Amino acid sequence: MKSKKDVIRLLEEIALYMELKGENTFKISAFRKAAQSIELDDRSLNEMEDITKLPGIGKTTGGIITQFLETGESKELESLKKEVPAGLVPLLDVQGLGGKKIARLYHELGVTDKNSLLSAAEEGKISALSGFGQKSVDKMVEGVKALGDRPERYPIQAVLPIASKVADFLDGILEIDEYQEAGSLRRLRETIKDLDFVIASKDIKTVREKLLAFPLIDEVTGAGDTKISAELDAGVKISVDFRMVEPQFFATTLHHFTGSKDHNIKMRQIAKERSEKISEYGVLDSADKNHVFKSETAFYKHFDLPFIPPEVRRDGTEIARIKKESSFVQLSDIRGDLHMHTTWSDGAYSISEMIEACIQKGYSYMVITDHGQFLRVANGLNEERLDKQQEEIRKVAANYPEIDVYHGVEMDILTDATLDFSDEVLQKLDFVIASIHSGFSGSEKEIMKRLETAVHNPYVRLIAHPTGRVIGRRNPYLVNMDELVKMAQDTNTALELNANPERLDLNAEHLQLAKENHVKIAINTDAHDTRHLDFMKLGVRAATKGWLSKDDILNTMSREAFKQFLQKK
């Protein structure tokens, strides 16, 4: 089902391709205005009787939207893609190169891809154009040269969709008894080099044949009887290994190829002390009898150990630690989500739709926290709109007695170390989140002053995505985490584990620091779409990586306990 965000993305993409093609600026502007009109409307797509009747949507854009909603496709966009050189599109990823500049390079210099741009720059043609100084050209060249380089590791958010496509394909192979991702993705590393899948089957030959027909395979680099290695191309090029074993060997093979290397070394040492040997095909005892296991749990039990979650299999020290700490938070422990957005700011779905989605998750409570007024780009709410939203939430929530719906806000901590709203505004809200969305390059002193203002405010309950990182794209700002955790402890302020795969913020080290200092963690999805609520599963895994238990998590509280929590700070 399409959301208003899907429609907005379509219109913006059409406008971008028109810009690259060199279309009339008024025509381009019409599509961008139509996208903005939809963005600023507080209703979701389902609540709009006729989206084509909104202000700023003309006959042409209306027809394109209708076709997209009915078929899931756009002939206009597909036609534009054929008219614009495909090599221009990757150039948009270069910082400082927008649609207008690329269009000029295309129409005035004949630039059609990375190589032609580099040639034009080398010949001095680009710096000769008005608006292109030599310094900006040098920076552009540097960015363009890095474009085609395949990174050694990919951010996890780039790999998860590919792993999901692989899983969908494996689900369709009836001869597979079971399978599981292995390697660094199963251990929830933040960056991934390649993919590994372990597959159990009684008919390995047929499974092998079907794997070789996987449409995403760009090149087969190895095809043995029990292992296939290939290069996948799903927008991101990444290697994958498929290891096929008979079902009785699945548990030990999965353990072996999950790693980490240091974890496996430590387990082999433990086995050696018992005169046993671990291999991917089982555990060989001193009488040369090979033991196989129905599960990894049974494998660990053989060594008198509780199950060790893949996320904590790191350097071998977890084997001693698991004997003392074997209680980890489970997805079933989560009773609510405390950070989400609706169509009132930059979310794709309405208040009622987000409520119904949370009910589907089995939650007892939820908090709607749209952006505050500082984030105009996200259609942030001012005081007047906050008041109106509160009225609307109370009214809509009355229809859903099975869940407590609280009204909050994600408020910006400004660069001058003040907050986006006064206490008079904040005291009306049930739950206030404070976060940083600007001034990332500030000094540690400046960042900590901003965070100090937030945690000491009597109405701020949670600091969201506390380090501001975006994995692979933006480094954390300069946070003194020891100091932040101490301030959070002193003020009874919770810190967030933002479960969005682009963030996973806080990281495992910071989560353990919070746990040691008895600072509550809220695992939130920061959902801008009902589908984003599924990030909670990833968030729970990230919490496991930080050795968090149910008692460390704010949103594992019962419905009544959370209600009481909100009444005090």
Q: Which pLDDT tens digit goes with each residue over 194-226?
A: 999 999 999 999 999 999 999 999 999 999 999
Say whether both 379 and 513 belong to one domain: yes
- The CATH number linked to 338 is 3.20.20.140
- The CATH number linked to 138 is 1.10.150.110
Q: 234: domain range?
A: 154-245
Residue 131: per-residue pLDDT: 85
In-domain check, residue 295:
yes
150 — pLDDT class (breaks 50, 70, 90): confident
pLDDT in tens, 302-315: 999 999 999 999 99
Say whether pLDDT at 252 is over 90: yes
Q: How far is the C-alpha of 487 from the C-alpha of 450, rounded, in Å?
A: 12
In-domain check, residue 45:
yes
Say whether pLDDT at 354 is over 70: yes
Say whether both 299 and 213 belong to one domain: no
User: Whole-prediction pTM value?
Assistant: 0.88
HSE-CB at 5 with a 13 A cutoff on CA atoms is 18
Apex 496 CA angle, 492 and 501, nearest 5: 175
Say whether both 268 and 212 belong to one domain: no
Last residue of a domain, one of 226, 245, 264: 245
HSE-CB at 414 with a 13 A cutoff on CA atoms is 10
In-domain check, residue 533:
yes
* Cα 176 to the center of its chain, rounded Å: 29
Say whether both 434 and 554 belong to one domain: yes
Say whether pLDDT at 147 is over 80: no
Last residue of a domain, one of 245, 279, 296: 245
In-domain check, residue 19:
yes
Q: Count of domains in the chain? A: 4
Query: What is the percent of the chain with per-residue pLDDT over 90, rounded to a whole number?
Result: 84
Tell me the torsion sign for CA atoms 405, 406, 407, 408: negative
Say whether pLDDT at 133 is over 90: no
Say whether both 427 and 451 belong to one domain: yes
Say whether both 456 and 554 belong to one domain: yes
Say whether both 540 and 440 belong to one domain: yes
Last residue of a domain, one of 94, 117, 146: 146
Residue with the larger pLDDT of the pair 427 and 40: 427
In-domain check, residue 402:
yes
pLDDT in tens, 379-418: 899 999 999 999 999 999 999 999 999 999 999 999 999 9
Say whether both 383 and 508 belong to one domain: yes
- Tell me how crowded residue 22 is: count the other CB atoms within 10 A of its CB: 14
Say whether both 226 and 296 belong to one domain: no
Say whether pLDDT at 375 is over 90: no
Say whether both 48 and 140 belong to one domain: yes
In-domain check, residue 528:
yes
377 — pLDDT class (breaks 50, 70, 90): confident
Query: In this structure, are residues 230 and 285 in contact, taking their beta carbons and an 8 Å threshold?
Result: no
Average pLDDT, the chain: 95
pLDDT in tens, 413-464: 999 999 999 999 999 999 999 999 999 999 999 999 999 999 999 999 999 9
Q: How far is the C-alpha of 497 from the C-alpha of 511, rounded, in Å?
A: 8
Say whether both 27 and 111 belong to one domain: yes
- The CATH number linked to 308 is 3.30.210.10
Residue 473: per-residue pLDDT: 87
- The CATH number linked to 186 is 3.30.460.10
